[in-house]
Structure 1
Amino acid sequence: MKPTAWLCLCLAGLLFLCGLWPTPAAAQGHTASVTQLRLEHGDDGIYLHAAVQFELPALVQDVLDKGIAVHFVAEAEIYRERWYWTDRKVAQVARYMRLAYQPLTRRWRLNVAPVPITGNAGFGISLNQNFESLDEALDAVKRIGRMRLGDVADIGDDATHPVVFRFRLDTSQLPRPFQIGVVGQSEWDIATERSARLPVEKAR
C-alpha cells in the first residue's frame, strides 16, 4: 500500500474513533435557492449582488462545531447578447468563503477571497470577519454583495444582460478522508443556480 493511501486510511480511522467521520443518514434533500439577483452600475464598473437561502444540515453543523472549516463558492458569469450567434461571455468572477469556528475565542471566522483558500493560499488577500454566533456568520455567507464583474466598456451598455449565478458548498476543500466519506450523502449537497436577464441599476 502506498504511504499516502496508508496515511489517509489511518486518518479516516482516527476521525471515526473521534466521532468526526460522517455517518449514513436518511436521504433527504437540502436545497438552496437564489432569493435576490441584481446588477449595479458603480463608479468603477458593473457589480453583482445576490442572496441565497439554505438551511445548514445538522451533519455539516456538527463538523463545524468540531473545528473543521467548511468552504462555500459563489460564481457569476455575464454575457453579451448576439442576435446572429450564441451569447458571448464577457466576464466571470468567483468568491470563495471559508467558515470556521475558533475554539480559543469562541467566535466564528469568515474568510472571503477571490481565489480558493487552501493551505496558506488565499489568506493573504482575504477579508476576515468575526461573528459571535453561527447564525450571524451564515447570514454573511448568504449575502453576496458587490462582486465586481468588470468595466462597463468591457461588458457593454446594453439595457439588459444575461447573467448566470451559482452557489455551492465546496466539499473538495474538506480534509481528504471527509471527501471520501461525503460521497452520496445529501446533507453535503448544498447548491443552487439561477439564470436571468437583468437590467443594470444605478448604485444605491
Structure 2
Amino acid sequence: MMVSSTPCCARPESARRWLVALLLGVWLALAGGGALAAEKSAVRQAVIRATPQGYVIDGDVNIVLNSTLEDALTRGINLYFVLELEVTRPRSWWFDESIGEATRKLRIYYHLLLRRYVVENGYTTRTAATLAEALAMLGRIDDWQVLERGALKTGHAYDARLRLRLDTSQLPKPLVIGAVGGDRWELATPWYGWSFDAPALAAAPASSP
C-alpha cells in the first residue's frame, strides 16, 4: 500500500505566499481608497435670490490647497482668486441667450507680524487664526450682487454656472517660471451648474416721510 505525502516545507511556503498576496491587496485597496477620498476644490452649493436692488447669489466653495500653495502662503505670498458666474436663458430653437456674467476678486495671505491669515472677500476683510478657518471664509459667498433689476423675468427658467479659480497672473513671475510642474501653481473648481425659476423681486423699503 502506497501512501502519498506532501513535503513538510510546501504548506508553510504556500501559506506565506498567500499572506503576502493578501497584505499586498489590502495595501493597494487602502492606497486606492485614499486617493479616491482625497478632497478636491469644488462649489458645494449656490443659489440666486431677489432683493430690492436686483439679484444676489449665496453659496459655498470648498477650497483645498496643495502643499505648494500652502507653503507660498506661509512665506507671505498673496494668493488671488476669481469667482466667475454665467447666467443664460435656455432656448429650444436657438443658442441659449446670455443674460449676464459677473466676476469677484478674492485674496488670502498670511500676515507674518500678526501671525494670522487675512481674507478679502468682496468688500469684506477678516482675519483667521488657522488656514482651515481662513479657507472657509474665502469660500463663503454672501449677498454678492450679480444682476440688476429687470435682468430676469419672474417665473421664467434660467441656467447658471459658477466656479472659482486661482488667478495665476497675480503670482510672482519668478515663482511660476522657476516651478517644476506648473500644475502645482494652479487651482480651479469644476463648473457648478444649476437651473432656477427667476424669483420675484423683493419690495423696496418704504421711504420715511
- TM-score, length-scaled by structure 2: 0.69
- State the 1:201 CA deviation: 5.5
- Taking the TM superposition and a 5 Å limit, the aligned residue runs for 1:7-156 are 31-113=40-122, 126-156=123-153
Q: Give secondary structure in 2 for the equivalent of 1:94.
A: strand
Q: Give secondary structure in 2 for the equivalent of 1:148.
A: strand
**Residues 1:128 and 1:140: Cα distance change in structure 2 (over 3 Å):** same
Equivalent residue, structure 1, for 2:206 = none
Task: Note the alpha carbon deviations across 1:133-187, whole angstroms, 9 max, x for none.
Answer: 2221110111122221212412222443110212111221111112223473333
1:34, 1:194 within 8 Å by CA — same for their partners in 2? yes
Equivalent residue, structure 2, for 1:19 = none
Q: Give secondary structure in 2 for the equivalent of 1:72.
A: strand
Task: Note the alpha carbon deviations across 1:35-75, whole angstroms, 9 max, x for none.
Answer: 10211112211112222223221211111001011111111
Which structure's relative contact order is higher, taking Cα pairs within 8 Å and 6+ residues apart?
1
Q: Give secondary structure in 1 for the equivalent of 2:93.
A: coil
1:38, 1:49 within 8 Å by CA — same for their partners in 2? yes
Aligned partner of 1:90: which letter?
A: I
Corresponding position: 1:196 with 2:205: no
- State the 1:83 CA deviation: 3.4
CA distance in structure 2 between the partners assigned to 1:132 and 1:201 by the alignment: 38
CA distance in structure 2 between the partners assigned to 1:51 and 1:200 by the alignment: 20
Aligned partner of 2:188: which letter?
A: A
1:80, 1:156 within 8 Å by CA — same for their partners in 2? no
Corresponding position: 1:184 with 2:205: no
Q: Give secondary structure in 1 for the equivalent of 2:150.
A: helix
- TM-score, length-scaled by structure 1: 0.71
Q: Give secondary structure in 1 for the equivalent of 2:57.
A: strand
**Residues 1:175 and 1:30: Cα distance change in structure 2 (over 3 Å):** farther
Q: Which has the larger radius of gyration?
A: 2
1:78, 1:161 within 8 Å by CA — same for their partners in 2? yes
Task: Note the alpha carbon deviations across 1:2-52, whole angstroms, 9 max, x for none.
Answer: xxxxxxxxxxxxxxxxxxxxxxxxxxx973222102111122111122222
> Identity of paired residues, percent?
29
2:107, 2:119 within 8 Å by CA — same for their partners in 1? yes
**Structure 1: where are the runs of 5+ without partners?**
1-28, 114-125
- State the 1:112 CA deviation: 3.0
Q: Give secondary structure in 2 for the equivalent of 1:154.
A: coil
